[in-house]
Structure 1
C-alpha cells in the first residue's frame, strides 16, 4: 500500500485545471441559492418562521452540491489517476520465474512419501498450473547447475523434463546453489521484465548462502522438509520469501503471492511499460451520486438530454449497458481476467491484445493473420508461436527468423527457431521413412522357418506387402519415443565437458 501511494500520480494532470471553474461555479451558485430562501426584512420573526417551508437552516446538501461533486469526480477520473504499470500481454501475465530444483541423493529421502524429490515435482507442477500464460524456466543442480528448459509458457514442455530429473542424471555430486543462482540470473537477464527465482531444496551449504545476499532478482525458497522443520541457514536472507512444505496448498499460494509481488515491483521499475489508468474507479461513486437526481426536488432535467446526446444512435443501446461505462478493450481485458479468451478476442480492438487472446483461445489461424499485419519483433514472435501450435512449421521458422531480423540476439526467438527447425526435420525424416517402408518390419523375400509344418526343412515364403500409408501429423509427434533420463544425462555430461574445456 505504501509503495502504491509513492507511485501515485495523474497521467493527464492538465485535466486538473478544470477543477478551477468547477469550484468557481460552485462558489457562485451555492450562496445565491441560499439567499433566495431568505425572508425580506420588516416581517416579524414569528411570522417569518411560519412562512418558511421546511427546516431550510438544517439543510446541508443542495442539488448543486451533488452536481459539483460529480463534476469533481469526473474531472479527477479524466486526469487519469494511477499507481501501477499496465502489463504487456505479449510479454507475460505474471513475472518470469526460474525454478532451481536440487536433484541430489538427499532429495530421495522418504520422510515425505514417496520421496522429497517426487513431492517437489508435484509442488512445481501445481505452481506451473496456477501460472497459466506465464513464462517459467527450469534448472536442475547438484554439484553443477544445468538449464533443463528455457523460459516458456507451455507447461507441456516442462512436465516430461521435470519427470526425467533424478540424481542419476546429474554428472557431479554436491551443492552448487550459488552457481545455479548465477545461471538463473542469466536466464532472467534475457527476459523482457525482471522476475523471480525459486529454489526447491531440502538443505543448502552455508557457504552458498552468502552469494544469495547479492541476488538481483527476488528470491523464493520452498523447503522440502517435514512440517515443523526449517532451514536455519535461510534466516540470514531477510529479503527472501521462505515457504515451508505443507500437505495442502498453503505453500503454493504463498509462493504465488511472492511471485506476484515481484511482478508488481518489476512493472514499477520498467519505464517502457505504460501506466495503468485507474480513473474508472471514480465512475462508481459518481454513478451513486447521480441517483440523487431522481429524488423529489433534486431532478436535473437536462441529465436525460445529455444521455441522448452522448448516445444518439441505436447501436449503443443494442450493445448493452456495459458500453456506457467500458470501452471494448476494457471489456476484453475483463474477459481475459476471467479466462474467457474467445470472448476477449471478439471484444478487443487493439490488435496486440486481440491476437494474444486468439492465441490463448486456440484460434491459431486468426491469430496468425492478426500478428502478420504488425511490423514489430513481438508480433513476429507471436506469429511463430501461433503457427508452430497450428503445426505450420515452415511458416513458423520464417516468422522466428523475421523476429530475429527485427531484434537480433533475441534468445527466446533463437530457441524457438531451433525447436521449430528440429521438429520440421524430424517430421520430414519420419515421413520419408514411412513412405519408403524402412520401418515396415518384415518385408518381401524375408526368410522364415516353420519346422513343424515342413518337418525341419527350410522354406521361403513371400510376405504380403501392403502399400505404406503416410503417417498423420499427430502420429509423427506421438511416435517420439525418447528415454528422457538418458537424454538429460547425456546433455548434462556434454555441458560439463564443454565448460571444462
Structure 2
C-alpha cells in the first residue's frame, strides 16, 4: 500500500508554502507579543504579567493552521489502491452509403445535391458520438472510404475530398453499395447494424433485392432521398439529341428499398428532423445489442481526499462556536458576488469615430460601421460584410496599398469577375510579395477561372461535334450516291474485257481493285470533287481550331477503349453497351500523366534542388504553396486501381451512366 501511495493532484501541496512562512513568523515573534517583557525582569514577569490576553491569539492561529493543512491534503487527493469501475460502451454500428453519381451534381438543391448530402453526413457524425461508423461511396461500382471505426474525425476529414469526379465508372449501382456495407459489418464481426443510404435514385430491381438480403442478415436499410421530384439537368451532360438530361428524385424506388430493408424513408429537409428519425429508428432496432456490452471494467485510483474533509467538521464547529466562522463568512461572501456590467452611451465619448467603427464591425453592426467610418478601407470592409460587393470595390479602389488591392480582389471574386480579381491580387503581391493570403486566394480564383473556361470549351466542343455529325451525314450520303454511280459505270465498262492473269496463274483481282479505287477518285467531275473536298475540309479545320489537343486526346482514349473491349471479349457485354449509350460528357476521366522514375532530367532537377541556397529554397517553397492541393487525387487513383482489379460485369443491361 505504501508503494502505491501518491497524490492525484500534487500541485495543491504548494499551498503549504504560505503555511510554513506563517509558522516561521509566529515562532520568531512569539516572545515579543507583550512590550513589558522587555522591561520587567524574567523572575518578576510571572508575578506582574497576566498571560490570559495572549492565549486566545495562538489558539486561533493553531486552529487556522490545522484546517489549512487538512484542506490542502484533501485537495491533493491522496490515493493508494485501485477501484474497479464499470464502463458502458455501445456496439451500435452504422454504415453510410453515399451516392457519387453524376446526377448528384444537379443544382435543384442549392448549392448541389452532393453538397447538401455531405452536410447531412456531418450532422450525423456530430450527433453519433458513440458507436461504430463507416462510409461507402458508389456510382458504377462501390468503394470503401473508411471501414467501421469510432474515430468520426477521420470520416469528417475525408468528406471534403469526395466528388463525382473521383469515381472510375458512372452509374447508379446502389445495390453494390449495400452489399459493400454488409461486408464491412461482417469484417467487424457484427450481426446487427444500420445502413443509411443517401442517394437520389437507384436501379430498382437489384437494389430492392440487395436490401432484402441485408434485412435477412440482420442489417436494416434506411434511405435519405436527396433532390426534388421535379429534378434538374445534369451539368455538362447531354443525350444523343444534344438535349439536357433531367433526373428527378426517384421517390418510389427509394421507398421500396427502405421497405425491403426494414427501415424508413425520409426526404432531405432543411432541419434535423430527417436525421433524427433515421437515427432513432436505428437505435430502436439495435438497443438490445447496445445494452449487452456493459460488461467492461476499468481500474481507477480510489480517491481518499473526501475522507480527510470529515476531519474539518470538528474544527468548523469549534470556529462557529467562538464566532470566527461567522466573521469569516462576512468577509468571503461579498467577494463572491459578480460585478454588474452596464453599457453606457457615455463610453463612446472616449472613442474616436474610427475606433467606434472598428467596435461596430466587431459587434456585427455593419450599417453603423459604414456610417461611422471615414476612410475607404473601413467603409469597404463594412460594405463587404453587408454583401454590397460593388460598393466595396468602389471603396477599395480609392486606395493603392496591398490591403486595399487584396480586399478589392476578394470583392471582385464574389462578383464573379475572376480575371479582374487576379489582377488585383497581382497588384497586392507586387507591393507585398510575402502576402500568403493573396497567394492562396489567387490560386483558388485561378482554379475557378480555369474551370469556367473548361466548361465553355466543353460546350463549344459539343456544338462543333453535333455540327460535324450532321455534315458527315450529308457527306456520306453524297459519297454513297457517287460511289454507286461509279460502280455502275465500272461494271458496264468491264463487260467487254477479259480478266488478266498474273505470273502465278492467279486472277488479277487485286490490281483491278486498285484500279477501280483509283477510278473512284477520278471518275467524279471536278466541280463535284472540289465541292465535296471543301465540305470535308471545312468542318475538319473548324474542329481542329476549336478542339486542338482535346480531340487528339479523345481519339487516344477511344483507341484505348477499343483495345480494352477487344481483350475483354464476351465477358462484359453490359459495360460495352453502357459505353455506347453514354453521352460524350460522361466518358471516363483521363488518366493522370506520370513521369518515369528514371528520367535523367528529373534526376538532374532533384540534384540541383539540393544545392539551392536559403533564398532560392524559400522562393521555391512559395511557388509550391501556390499549387492547389488535391486531397481527392489519392482516393481517385485508389478507386481506379480497385475497379481495374475487379472488372465485374455490370449485371444490368440497361444501366444508366448517371
TM range (shorter): 0.3 to 0.5
Bigger radius of gyration, 1 or 2? 2
TM-score, normalising length from structure 1? 0.41
Q: Which structure has more helix as a fraction of its residues?
A: 2
TM-score, normalising length from structure 2? 0.31
